[in-house]
Homo-oligomer: A and B are copies of this chain.
Amino acid sequence: MAVYTEVSDEELEAFLSAYDLGQVLACKGIAEGVENSNYFLQTTAGAFILTLYEKRVREEDLPFFLGLMEHLSARGLTCPQPVRNRAGHALGRLAGRPAAIVTFLTGVSVRRPNARHCHAVGRALAQLHEAGADFGMRRANGLSLQSWRPLFAQAEAAADQVAPGLAERTRRELAYLEARWPEGLPIGVIHADLFTDNVFFIGEEVSGLIDFYFACTDLLAYDLAICLNAWCFEPDGSFNLTKGRAMIVGYERIRPLNDAEAEVLPILCRGSALRFMLTRLVDWLNVPPGALVKPKDPLEYDRKLAFHRHVRNAAEYGLER
């Protein structure tokens, strides 16, 4: 929730002059996305989002992200569609930053999803996986298993200041997951960050998915595990089995899990909970003075991990066979 980069009138005008978007009717910084600067851009040609990529997004990854959004849009998934300028480029530079224009999606994110929302998200996630199946580019998941130990190393010494015992719990969890992380499951394009902020609804229908800046090539079922963590826990920390079931049913309507994926779903849920706990923990311990963004609580995911450690099989998330 921040606009980091201010764009001057002259810079904006020069940037837009390369596009066929007509006259600018409005351009406002919006509080969306914590990683980049986003502007709502209205022109005589329609409504768009102008994004300036800040330093947390690696410039060499942008062709993957923009190419993916273009691919998914072409396959009928409602996601932001990159707009190419007259020279055919979707990626340009503005105010010293890489920048792109994508179509504006209507819809609102829900902060407290119900089971019908979870069902719709499961379905949309599987549609994304299906639509991404023939996407030609690959990007390794920089925040999967192999990154967790180095991430933890940045936070280990101070972890117990955040919660007593957190360091030891995390060491054990890491060792457990490193010994059991699955291989041979179906892989493909995953969103990898499909939190409630990143799904728009009109009523209870999904109207669009946004923020593909963690998308990568990884285990498809891991993406479902991320969503189970992000959508199906209650504010009090309890797992809502009705929501989990609704999400998994929605997902399997489009793409049924195979037996191997079903078998390891608890491991994948633990892994994705650890991933968000660790990145949040590192951010929590490194809030710069005067930061614009309040860091998210790592302990929310420490508590989710505690739940997952007691799960024996995927039925406890709502998978029915």
Contact = CB atoms under 8 A, between A and B. Distances in A.
Interface of A: 1, 3, 8-10, 23-32, 40, 42, 104, 106-108, 110-112, 200, 202-203, 290-292
Contacts of A107: 25-26
A42 B40 CA distance: 12
Nearest to A106: B25
Contacts of A32: 28-29
A9 B108 CA distance: 9
A40 B29 contact: no
A28 B33 CA distance: 11
A112 B10 contact: yes
A103 to B, nearest CB: 13
Nearest to A111: B9
Listed from nearest, the 5 A-B pairs whose CB atoms lie closest are A29-B31, A25-B106, A3-B31, A28-B30, A26-B106
Contacts of A112: 8-10
Nearest to A203: B23
Given A9-B111, A30-B40, A290-B291, 15 more contacts: A3-B31, A8-B111, A10-B112, A23-B202, A25-B106, A26-B106, A26-B108, A27-B108, A28-B31, A28-B32, A28-B40, A29-B32, A30-B31, A31-B31, A40-B40
26 contacts: A1-B3, A1-B29, A3-B31, A8-B111, A8-B112, A9-B108, A9-B110, A9-B111, A24-B108, A24-B202, A25-B106, A25-B108, A26-B104, A26-B106, A26-B107, A26-B108, A26-B200, A27-B108, A28-B31, A28-B32, A29-B30, A29-B32, A30-B30, A30-B31, A290-B290, A292-B292
Contacts of A202: 23-25
Nearest to A31: B29
Contacts of A10: 112
A30 B291 CA distance: 18
Contacts of A25: 106-108, 202
Contacts of A42: 106
Contacts of A40: 28, 30, 40
Give the most central of A104, A290, A291: most B CB within 10 Å.
A290
Nearest to A32: B28
A205 to B, nearest CB: 11
